[in-house]
Structure 1
Amino acid sequence: MGDAVEGIWETIKTVFWALVIAGVFRTLFFQPFWIPSGSMKDTLLIGDFLFVNKMAYGYSQYSCPFGLCPIDGRLMGSEPERGDVVVFRHPVNGTDFIKRLIGLPGDRIQMKDGVLHINDEPVGMEPDGLFIEDMAPQGPQQLLPRCSNDPVGQGGTCEKARFIETLPNGTSHSILDIGLGPNDNTPIFTVPEGHYFFMGDNRDNSTDSRVNQIARGVGMVPAENLIGRADRIMFSSAGKSLFFVWTWRPDRFFKRIE
């Protein structure tokens, strides 16, 4: 009993210090971000808490501390790389989104029967079993997952096919597939200069650059809207509230984001 209490206390202290760090360093270097939806499963789950590296690509008008950076252009930092998981400001409604960077300026992006094509070539895609989760409300919004084996009743097992996708630069990551949907066959998108193309890893449950901004999609994202790169999950909770200790996911604490 004593070991169990000590373990819970150590976990509570870990979460406490993570939140303290978020408060101290948010303005200068990092921005905390809670995952609100399932669009990036299974890389990121609803309830994951992470820090966004605001210096990764240099400061912009949306990541600059105290508003001291120039409005046009960025300071320091490296160029975003294909496969990065990035937090950015939505070009229209101003909310913060997190997606995977798929298309660089000048790229031609298209989905054909659920397979991503970059510059007219299909990316590598290998089956990797199933992603399985409970059919139950998730996170503060109590969202229900979508399943490839629908209909699934409450308490049942929700399944999605998982694949390992390999981008042209050799970056690999997992993606989920429910079945052919409206965004699995698209026209060719040509990424304009100074813009980027983003997609969610949960391909049939993501409103991303495949969706026009008129339809509340992300569309093409200007470089100045990038806030930073997500590198590591710090804390994770599957419950409706952070204080539901029994819903914490310790196996995801400090997990590197691939």
Structure 2
Amino acid sequence: MQSLLGNFALILFILMVVTGVIWFYDKLVLAKKRRAAAEMALAAFDERNAKLKAQGIAVDESGRATLKEKLLKRPVWVEYSGSFFPVIAAVFFIRSFLWEPFRIPSSSMVPTLQIGDMILVSKYSYGIRLPVVNRKIVDFGDPQKGDVVVFKFPKDTSLDYIKRVVGVGGDRVEYRNKKLIINGVESKYQPLGDYLDTESLTYSKEFEEDLAGAGVRHHILNDDRAPNYVPHPDRFPNRNMCTYNVEGFACTVPQGYYFMMGDNRDNSLDSRYWGFVPDDYIVGKAFLVWMNLGDMTRIGGIR
């Protein structure tokens, strides 16, 4: 799942800094200069009018207010910066520390998440991270097995991906004949019938998966036409922690890393192919579908 036009957080941060510097410079320097210049001009205006009155000449005082307004008026570039700064700062704070919106562009998490779902991600579920550099400074815990998580794609950190955590540091994750085994315990599967993919007009088998050792139940898809093995996995870091064969794979997750899989198991490029996700790449926990313009019934919590 791709983030908005490159690193949007960095762009927002730069805009906030630029508009903030202009806003503060205006408050601390430019505004004082404008007031001083206005006071001098108005004093000259009053002195001139006083002389005219002393000579018995009628004076129109209405121009004083107009002159004052003109002299105290902020330049256009300062006006716009002052207007945008609090808005940009508020958006930056909310996106960085509270919630961030994303749009689902692919079917890798079907049936849990559909193409077009607009989701909210909690940025504070696992702690507080510094914006832009994404380094955790306050720890509230770690992603747990079963969580649906947004993270920086290890092969290209300008991209944001969303998958389900199926293994944490120290776990032995196996996927044999399309069944997930964690630390030697096989997940339980309840058949739910056929699932129609309205995009490709093909059917997959839908199951309710009781994720081993997590106590989390959610729906997954399996495609009978897809092979059990993982075709052409990358040579990713810590690849030596994994073994692949015709039945599937087995990986031991390194400490400080996570193993991610899509719920659309046979149509998801995930940790089986490109490896483990380090903790520093975690963005947040997906918890709500807040909009889907094509299907308003999609609105609700994410399981």
**TM-score, with normalisation over the residues of structure 1?**
0.70
Q: Which amino acid is the alignment partner of residue 235 of structure 1? A: M
1:163 equivalent in alignment to 2:212: no
1:117 equivalent in alignment to 2:162: no
Q: Distance in 2 between matches of 1:33 and 1:76?
A: 23
* Mapped contact 2:194–2:206 kept (Cα < 8 A): yes
1:172 equivalent in alignment to 2:217: yes
Q: Distance in 1 between matches of 2:116 and 2:91?
A: 16
- Against the structure 1 CA distance between its residues 92 and 74, is the aligned structure 2 distance closer, same or farther, given a 3 Å change threshold? farther
Give the superposition deviation at 1:224: 1.1
Q: Distance in 1 between matches of 2:196 and 2:268?
A: 18
Corresponding residue for residue 195 of structure 1: 257
Q: Which amino acid is the alignment partner of residue 127 of structure 1? A: P
* Mapped contact 1:163–1:175 kept (Cα < 8 A): yes
Q: Which amino acid is the alignment partner of residue 287 of structure 2? A: D
* Mapped contact 2:190–2:208 kept (Cα < 8 A): yes
* Mapped contact 2:96–2:123 kept (Cα < 8 A): no
Identity, in percent, stands at: 36
How many pairs were matched up?
195
Q: Mark the runs of 5 or more structure 2 residues left unpaired by the alignment.
A: 1-89, 231-245
Q: 1:231 aligns with which of 274, 282, 287?
A: 287
Q: Distance in 2 between matches of 1:165 and 1:22?
A: 37
Give the superposition deviation at 1:74: 4.3
Corresponding residue for residue 151 of structure 1: none
Give the superposition deviation at 1:23: 7.7
Q: Which amino acid is the alignment partner of residue 52 of structure 1? A: V
Question: Per chain length, whose mean CA-contact separation is higher, i.e. which structure has more relative contact order (CA < 8 Å, sep 6+)?
Answer: 1
Q: Distance in 2 between matches of 1:87 and 1:80?
A: 11
1:147-162 alignment runs, 5 A limit: 157-162=201-206
Q: Distance in 1 between matches of 2:132 and 2:156?
A: 22
Give the superposition deviation at 1:58: 0.9
1:126 equivalent in alignment to 2:171: no
1:47 equivalent in alignment to 2:111: no
- Against the structure 1 CA distance between its residues 225 and 231, is the aligned structure 2 distance closer, same or farther, given a 3 Å change threshold? same
Q: 1:37 aligns with which of 97, 106, 121?
A: 106
Deviates further, 41-50 or 87-96: 87-96
Deviations 1:1-48 (A, max 9, x none): xxxxxxxxxxxxxxxxxxxx9787223311111101000000000110
* Mapped contact 1:22–1:51 kept (Cα < 8 A): no
Q: Distance in 2 between matches of 1:103 and 1:210?
A: 12
| 1:175 match: secondary structure | strand
* Mapped contact 2:151–2:161 kept (Cα < 8 A): yes
**TM-score, with normalisation over the residues of structure 2?**
0.60
- Against the structure 1 CA distance between its residues 220 and 66, is the aligned structure 2 distance closer, same or farther, given a 3 Å change threshold? closer
Q: Mark the runs of 5 or more structure 1 residues left unpaired by the alignment.
A: 1-20, 137-144, 146-156, 212-216, 238-247
- Whose Rg is larger? 2
Q: Distance in 2 between matches of 1:236 and 1:22?
A: 22
* Mapped contact 2:166–2:259 kept (Cα < 8 A): yes
Q: Distance in 2 between matches of 1:128 and 1:158?
A: 16
- Against the structure 1 CA distance between its residues 122 and 66, is the aligned structure 2 distance closer, same or farther, given a 3 Å change threshold? closer
Corresponding residue for residue 256 of structure 1: 301
* Mapped contact 1:22–1:30 kept (Cα < 8 A): no
Q: Distance in 2 between matches of 1:23 and 1:42?
A: 32
Q: Distance in 2 between matches of 1:93 and 1:117?
A: 29
- Against the structure 1 CA distance between its residues 36 and 55, is the aligned structure 2 distance closer, same or farther, given a 3 Å change threshold? same
Higher helix share: 2
Give the superposition deviation at 1:90: 1.3
* Mapped contact 2:97–2:128 kept (Cα < 8 A): no
Q: Distance in 2 between matches of 1:161 and 1:176?
A: 6
Q: Distance in 1 between matches of 2:249 and 2:255?
A: 19
| 1:27 match: secondary structure | helix
Q: Distance in 2 between matches of 1:231 and 1:74?
A: 22
| 1:26 match: secondary structure | helix
Q: 1:81 aligns with which of 144, 158, 165?
A: 144
Deviations 1:93-124 (A, max 9, x none): 11110000000110111111111111122111
